[in-house]
Amino acid sequence: MSHSVFRKAYDRMIAARQRQANGLIRNYLLAQDDATLQSLGHKREDLEKKNRIPFEI
């Protein structure tokens, strides 16, 4: 059974907000120093690479 138009619109809105939140989190993390990023398990290069992609896949 296919989803209704409203369900599809809702799902797309939620996905867009999730992408926006992920971008905000990446920007916050990129403002941290390398030692802090490493302690959190992130690499600056990976965050910068993901930040260049306009839409997450």
pLDDT tens digits along 23-57: 899 999 999 999 999 999 999 999 988 877 665 54
In three state form, how does the secondary structure of 1-57 look? CCCCHHHHHHHHHHHHHHHHHHHHHHHHHHCCCHHHHHHCCCCHHHHHHHHHCCCCC
Domain edges within the chain: 5-52
Q: In this structure, are residues 29 and 37 in contact, taking their beta carbons and an 8 Å threshold? A: yes
Q: In this structure, are residues 25 and 37 in contact, taking their beta carbons and an 8 Å threshold? A: no
Q: Give pLDDT, residue 12.
A: 95
Q: Give pLDDT, residue 50.
A: 84
Quote the pTM value.
0.70
